[in-house]
Amino acid sequence: MWPLCLGALVFVGITHWVYRWRNPSCNGKLPPGSMGFPFLGETLQFFSPNTSSDIPPFIKQRMKRYGPIFKTNLVGRPVVVSTDPELNYFIFQQEGQVFQSWYPDTFTEIFGRQNVGSLHGFMYKYLKNLVLNLFGPESLKKMLPEVEQAACTTLEKWSCEDSVELKEATARMIFDLTAKKLISYDSTKASENLRENFVAFIQGLISFPLDVPGTAYHKCLQGRKRAMKMLKNMLQERRGMQRKEQNDFFDYVIEELKKEGTVLTEAIALDLMFVLLFASFETTSLALTYAIKLLSNHPLVLKQLQEEHEAILKRREDPNSGITWKEYKSMTFTFQFINETVRLANIVPGIFRKTLRDINFKGYTIPAGWAVMVCPPAVHLNPAKYQDPLAFNPWRWEGVELNGASKHFMAFGGGMRFCVGTDFTKVQMAIFLHSLVTKCRWRPVKGGNIVRTPGLQFPNGFHVQIMEKDQSKQDPEFINTN
């Protein structure tokens, strides 16, 4: 009798628990949606690979069923997903008051518990200003020659190879440039390869969070651990040096650490360094690879881009001089092209925040402590805002001034957390494209297929053969940039 009663109690307890999982309590009306299976939620569906350039199937199916605002559960956390422009705008505008930056615990483990995305208020503003000292407009003006030199040297090297895999090759170029500016790291002279650890890290970044040896997530954490050890050793070595001038980000950090009453700690500085190195090269290399794939398939876009950059060369008194800031700012069609590229690339599939109190919006309640995910792909591919949204059309940006995010464009985030590296990314992309279309031709060799898991990936790479213009002009297989 007792075993039967105990079994009945266990069954009732589990049933009640499953019911509460699927029907969370709320002081109001929750958005519609499903919380999925206990513990897992809808995590597996969210991470399921797809080859569509449209709104991710996970999001699109639920938008169709539930509307633009719906609830779900990802990695054990209740989440409200927003594809509503008005709610997105409200979320970004109320940063620090009603919402604060938040990412799943697995992301916190990967990027560090004191990474810039997990810090708020004064500390976030303090770190943001620290970064702008190195990557703000005034610093970028001085950096133009280095960016152009890196692009030209890289293209010249690529032209001597049978083919290059663009995602890997552009990542290497950007990482070397960024690491030099941040920590004076020179891969040709270093005893250890810092970037190799980031490669291991990236392979498991967008994966199911199972920390078991052999899984991509475990390899990701191990890659972070090795990279952080290298960065810590480099910082400690630098602190023992006597340097009169501040030449890189480590110098700024060390000066801040020396100040009496400083809020900066070595742990925060190292987490910041890790995030900056990752964000600067991974996202930009994806955007550049996707840009060249698009150029390869759209000759009219390539023609206008090439005409803009050839005109810059023709206007120069000294044809051998480098890009000036005035020339960079004149690249009108190039910026239209970059906007359209990142709109379609949707490199960041979700931007997360956490509610600080109960929120009422359009009849729904988002409980305090819940996560909210803004979905950029749903915004960027909204047919109500973008005519033929899946079409690649840089001309749609003609006459549009974009100095930040908007309700309908958030490729670089939004609100007070608008990406501080946006200008640096645009400089790298524009200068590389200038060098590519004025000096080289190329032809796709293999790969180029994309997969989203949910972030953008090139599983088979994108291999191209690049040649200098005078070498390839007789070969019709090469993309014509004349």
Q: What are the CB-based long-range contacts (under 8 Å, 24+) for 23-30?
A: 24/78, 24/367, 25/367, 26/365, 26/367, 27/358, 27/365, 27/367, 28/358, 28/360, 28/364, 28/365, 29/363, 29/364, 29/365, 30/71, 30/364, 30/365, 30/367
Classify residue 41 as left (phi > 0), alpha (psi -120 to 50) or beta.
Answer: left
Tokens of 24: 């969370």
Q: Is 152 annotated as a binding residue?
A: no
* Nearest partner of 158 among 368, 459, 443, judged by Cα: 443
* DSSP codes, 54-122: SS-HHHHHHHHHH-SEEEEEETTEEEEEE--HHHHHHHHHTBTTTEEE---HHHHHHH-TT-GGG--HH
Tokens of 44: 């597996």
Adjacent-strand bridge partners of 451: 457
* DSSP codes, 407-426: TTB-TT--GGG--TTHHHHH
Classify residue 425 as left (phi > 0), alpha (psi -120 to 50) or beta.
Answer: alpha
- Phi, psi (degrees; rounded to nearest 5) at 99: -125, 155
The DSSP call for residue 318 is S
* DSSP codes, 463-478: EEEEEEHHHHTT-TTS
Binding residues for heme: 419
Binding residues: 419
